Amino acid sequence: MPIQKTNQRVNINNRRIINGEDADVVQLYPMKHLFAWEAYNTGNANHWLPTEIGMQQDVEQWKSPTALSEDERIALKIVLGFFTTADSIAANNLVLATYKHITSPECRLYLLRQAYEEAVHTHAYQYIVESLGLDSGEIFNMYRERTSIYNKDAFILSFNDGIFDPKFKTGTFEADQKFLENMIVFSIIMEGIFFYSAFAVMFSFQRQNKMVGSAEQIQYIMRDESQHLNFGIEMINAIKEEQPELWTPAFQEKIIGLVKEAVKLEYTFAVDCFPKGIMGINADSFKKYIEHIADRRLSRIGLPAQYNSPNPFPWMSEAVDLSKEKNFFETRVTEYQTGGTLEW
């Protein structure tokens, strides 16, 4: 956008997540969307790299003929099969679809941090695959070959139709709703639901003292992801406030329908990981867990709960519970500055 020579200062009250009038996307200060600045600082304080985490015990367990059952090996591979491409899909959406239409410079600043974190996550999966000596072609191509993963990714990617078009522009009712729908699908469903069965699988390994290095990688990733989810929710809610006309009853129904479809896809994926149920987890508890988190995501954007399922994995909520997030980030900040082990 060309700059105008002027003595007129930018009025931050005109600043919007999308469609900011006289939008100046390069002037960070003064800021309006303070949640973005907070998210950016939290992200920096949580900095980590996959190579800092020891993988030796995992390598020994993976090589050992007795440390893991065949079902556990298959579950681990399927989970990695989902993870290895999921963060690249998320990153592409941020960089190629979201970023350009965001007119809040502070939100753009965080998106740059988030995009980098998605790269670190993909690095972590690559590092696990390499450390364990897995067939990288098998794992990284699984999103095309394995139906339960393919269906999740195809569902998500279908919401890029139109938005990836170079001619796509926000500023009309239809376009803005489409853009908001993309943001909700990527935050609430991709980052908020589709990662979580795979997280639960990894932490059930960890609870048995199995594959603890891989699980620790995933713990760092989950901490970043819950921050991405929080930021996505803040942006969605800010757009709802700035453009309330977009939030029609029909649109709300549509979003609820999409979340319900996603819950089914996620359950199919979980059953595919654990067809016989292992490590004390069966398909029914996974179903309840997915429904439980779907309700939580819906309520964060002001939509009614659909399932009212109790949380069958309280050990997950201890690590993931968004209401505790602030607390564990604060803990983490201090620890990061004084040493850097993961204790939260």
80 sits in which H/E element: helix 70-92
Closer residue to Fe ion, CB minimum distance, 225 or 272: 225
Greatest extent of the chain over all pairs of C-alpha atoms, in Å: 73
**Under 8 Å between Cβ of 61 and 141:** no
**Under 8 Å between Cβ of 329 and 40:** no
Tell the burial category of 310 from Cβ atoms under 10 Å away from its Cβ (0-12, 13-18, 19+). Answer: exposed
Report in angstroms the alpha-carbon separations of 245 from 1, 174, 181, 249, 286.
27, 11, 14, 10, 37
Contacts for 31-37 with beta carbons within 8 Å, 24 or more apart? 31/105, 31/106, 32/104, 32/106, 33/104, 33/106, 33/107, 33/234, 33/235, 33/238, 34/106, 35/231, 35/234, 35/238, 36/104, 36/106, 36/107, 36/109, 36/110, 36/231, 36/234, 37/106, 37/109, 37/110
Least Å distance, CB 114 to Fe ion, is 6
Closer residue to Fe ion, CB minimum distance, 190 or 246: 190
Closer residue to Fe ion, CB minimum distance, 190 or 316: 190
Closer residue to Fe ion, CB minimum distance, 72 or 191: 191
Tell me how many residues contact Fe ion (CB under 5 A): 4
Instruction: Please check if 87 is assigned to a binding site.
Output: yes
Least Å distance, CB 90 to Fe ion, is 5
Closer residue to Fe ion, CB minimum distance, 57 or 88: 88
Residue nearest Fe ion (C-beta atom)? 228
Least Å distance, CB 47 to Fe ion, is 15
Separation between Cα atoms, residue 269 and residue 161, nearest integer Å: 24
- Contact region for Fe ion (CB under 5 A) — 14-22, 75-83, 88-96, 211-219? 88-96
Least Å distance, CB 227 to Fe ion, is 8
Least Å distance, CB 61 to Fe ion, is 28
Instruction: Please check if 228 is assigned to a binding site.
Output: yes
- Contact region for Fe ion (CB under 5 A) — 27-35, 47-55, 191-199, 316-324? 191-199
**Under 8 Å between Cβ of 188 and 257:** no
Separation between Cα atoms, residue 63 and residue 332, nearest integer Å: 33
Mark whether 196 is an active-site residue: no
Residues between 67 and 86 with contacts to Fe ion, criterion CB under 5 A? none
Separation between Cα atoms, residue 38 and residue 83, nearest integer Å: 27
Instruction: Please check if 145 is assigned to a binding site.
Output: no
Instruction: Please check if 325 is assigned to a binding site.
Output: no
- Binding residue (CB under 5 A) for Fe ion from 228, 287, 296, 300: 228
SS3 17: coil
Q: Does 223 bind Fe ion (CB under 5 A)?
A: no
Choosing from 125, 127, 196, 289, the catalytic residue is: 125
Instruction: Please check if 284 is assigned to a binding site.
Output: no
Closer residue to Fe ion, CB minimum distance, 191 or 266: 191
Least Å distance, CB 126 to Fe ion, is 16
Can you give the binding site for Fe ion, defined by CB under 5 A? 90, 191, 225, 228
Q: Residues within the annotated binding site?
A: 87, 118, 121, 191, 225, 228
The set of catalytic residues is: 125
Which residues contribute to the annotated binding site for Fe cation?
87, 118, 121, 191, 225, 228
